[in-house]
Amino acid sequence: MNTLRRQFIKLGLVLFGVLLLLIVLSSSLAKAAEPVPLEMPVSINALMVTLIDHAAHHIWDYGTMERDIAEEEWRIVEYYAIQLAAAGPAITLGGSGDMDAAWSASPQWIEHARNMSSIAQQAIVAAQDHDKAALRTLGNDLTDSCDACHATFKPELPTEGLVHDPDYDLLYHVFDNWH
The stretch 107-127 carries a mean pLDDT of 97
Please state, rounded to an integer, the average pLDDT across all residues of the chain.
85
Buried b (16+ CB within 10 A) or exposed e, 79-112: ebbbbbbebbebbbebbebebbeebbeeeebbeb
Residue 110's pLDDT is: 96
Query: pLDDT at position 81, please?
Result: 97
pLDDT of 25 reads 79
State yes or no: pLDDT of 152 exceeds 90.
yes
Question: Does pTM surpass 0.75?
Answer: no
Residue 38 pLDDT class (50, 70, 90 cuts): confident
The pLDDT of residue 175: 53
Residue pair 41/93 in contact by the 8 Å Cβ criterion = no
Q: Cα(51)–Cα(167) distance, rounded to whole angstroms?
A: 14
The tens digit of pLDDT for each residue in 61-85 reads 999 999 999 999 999 999 999 999 9
**Percent of the residues in the chain that have a pLDDT greater than 90, as a whole number:** 58
Rounded to whole angstroms, how far apart are CA atoms 122 and 25? Answer: 49
